[in-house]
Amino acid sequence: MEFKAMRGFSDILPPATRRWEMLEERAREVLEGFGFSEIRVPILERAELFSRSIGEETDIVEKEMYTFEDRSGDCVTLRPEATASMVRAYIEHKLYAADPMAKLYSIGPMFRHERPQKGRHRQFHQINVEVFGVSQPMIDAEVMAILMHYLSLVEATNCHLQINSLGCPHCRLEYKEILRAFLKDHLSGLCEDCRRRMERNPLRTFDCKVPGCQEIMSKAPPISDYLCPPCAEHFAEVRKYLEILEIVYEVNPRMVRGLDYYARTTFEVVAGGLGAQNAVAAGGRYDQLVAALGGPDIPGIGFAIGMERLLLITPNKTLPSGPSLFIAALGEGLRRKAFGLSYKLNRACVKTLIDYEGRSLKAQMRRADKVGARYVLIIGENEQRTGQAILRDMKEKKQEEIPLSSIFEEIVKRLKEIAL
Phi/psi for 173 (5° steps) reads -60, -45
Pairing of the two strands 352-354 and 325-329: parallel
Residue 121 binds ligand ATP (CB under 6 A): yes
Site string for ligand ATP, 259-278 (x = CB under 6 A): ------------------x-
Integer angstrom CA distances of residue 80 from 51, 66, 69, 121, 396: 11, 8, 16, 12, 51
6 or 420: CB nearest ligand ATP: 6
Residue 79 binds ligand ATP (CB under 6 A): no
Residue 84 binds ligand ATP (CB under 6 A): no
Q: Which of 88, 103, 112, 204 binds ligand ATP (CB under 6 A)?
A: 112
45 and 33 in contact (C-beta within 8 Å)? no
Residue 304 binds ligand ATP (CB under 6 A): yes
Could you tell me what percentage of the chain is helix, strand and coil, using 3-state DSSP and rounding each to the nearest 5?
45, 20, 35
The CB-of-86 to ligand ATP minimum distance in angstroms stands at 14
Residue 78 binds ligand ATP (CB under 6 A): no
269 or 345: CB nearest ligand ATP: 269
Residue 53 binds ligand ATP (CB under 6 A): no
Q: Which of 51, 53, 77, 126 binds ligand ATP (CB under 6 A)?
A: 126
What is the full DSSP assignment across 357-392?
Answer: S---HHHHHHHHHHTT-SEEEEE-HHHHHHTEEEEE
Site string for ligand ATP, 199-238 (x = CB under 6 A): ----------------------------------------
Integer angstrom CA distances of residue 146 from 218, 224, 302: 31, 25, 11
Total residues interacting with ligand ATP, rule: CB under 6 A: 18
Phi/psi for 207 (5° steps) reads -80, -15
Kindly give, in sequence order, each residue whose CB lies less than 8 Å from that of residue 97, ignoring residues fewer than 6 positions away. Answer: none
The CB-of-54 to ligand ATP minimum distance in angstroms stands at 9
| Residue range at the interface with ligand ATP (CB under 6 A); choices 21-29, 196-204, 290-298, 305-313 | 305-313
Residue 258 binds ligand ATP (CB under 6 A): yes
43 and 78 in contact (C-beta within 8 Å)? yes
28 or 120: CB nearest ligand ATP: 120
Residue 282 binds ligand ATP (CB under 6 A): yes
164 and 268 in contact (C-beta within 8 Å)? no
How far is residue 269's CA from residue 309's CA, in Å, rounded to a whole number? 11
Q: Which regions of 289-343 does DSSP assign to beta strands (E)?
A: 300-306, 325-329
Q: Which of 130, 140, 308, 383 binds ligand ATP (CB under 6 A)?
A: 308
Residue 279 binds ligand ATP (CB under 6 A): yes
Residue 344 binds ligand ATP (CB under 6 A): no
In total, the chain counts a number of residues equal to 420
Q: Which of 36, 51, 65, 81 binds ligand ATP (CB under 6 A)?
A: 81
Residue 114 binds ligand ATP (CB under 6 A): yes
Q: Which residue is nearest to ligand ATP (CB)?
A: 306
239 and 176 in contact (C-beta within 8 Å)? no
Which stretches of the chain bind ligand ATP, using CB under 6 A? 81, 112, 114, 119-121, 124, 126, 258, 277, 279-282, 304, 306, 308-309
